[in-house]
Amino acid sequence: VTTVLDDVEANYNVDKNRIYLTGTSMGGMGSWSTAAANPDRFAAILASAGVYPDARYTFPVGIIAPAFDGDVKKIVTPEAEWKSAMEAYAKALKDMPIRVFHSKADATSSVEYTEYMETCMKNVGASNCTFTYFENVAHGESYQMILEQYPDAITWLLSQHK
């Protein structure tokens, strides 16, 4: 992400005070990790249905979809590792404006990780971080739900600046 952003900044007129990260599922995870690694580069995060990967997958050569049922190996991230990573994210991002959405019914990306991230952000005294939980929304529908029920989220995002 940062390599692409470097290129965009070098070749286009970019307001470096208004660069945002947003994503859902793995994109939400990427938003958190990218911002935590570069906290001074981004103005805000809007993420849904993903904070930290609970598992990693290895695939046979040529297979790119997790739906493949052959020699795919799932390696579950140890709890101490993901908790430590989230605590580090919180320290790095405590001053960044962040809005997070997740469904309690998400069967793909457990809301447990988002709830723990919320605790971490509270523990570091983050004051501009909001967590919103949906009750019965499927994993793939969370971003659409944001647009339908929280249309101000995009306006909020675009109003943030460093």
Residue 52: predicted pLDDT: 74
Residues of the chain with pLDDT under 70: 53-74
Q: Is 51 exposed, middle or buried (0-12, 13-18, 19+ CB in 10 A)?
A: buried
The dihedral built from the CA positions of residue 117, 64, 7 and 3, taken in this order, carries a sign that is positive
132-148 tens-digit pLDDT: 999 999 888 888 889 89
pLDDT in the model for residue 110: 86
Q: 120: Cβ–Cβ under 8 A, 6 or more apart, which residues?
A: 86, 87, 89, 90
End-to-end Cα spacing for the chain: 19
- What is the model's pTM? 0.86
Question: For residues 157 and 42, is the Cβ–Cβ distance under 8 A?
Answer: no
Q: In the prediction, which pLDDT does 100 show? A: 96
HSE, CB side, 13 Å, CA atoms: give it for residue 130.
Answer: 9
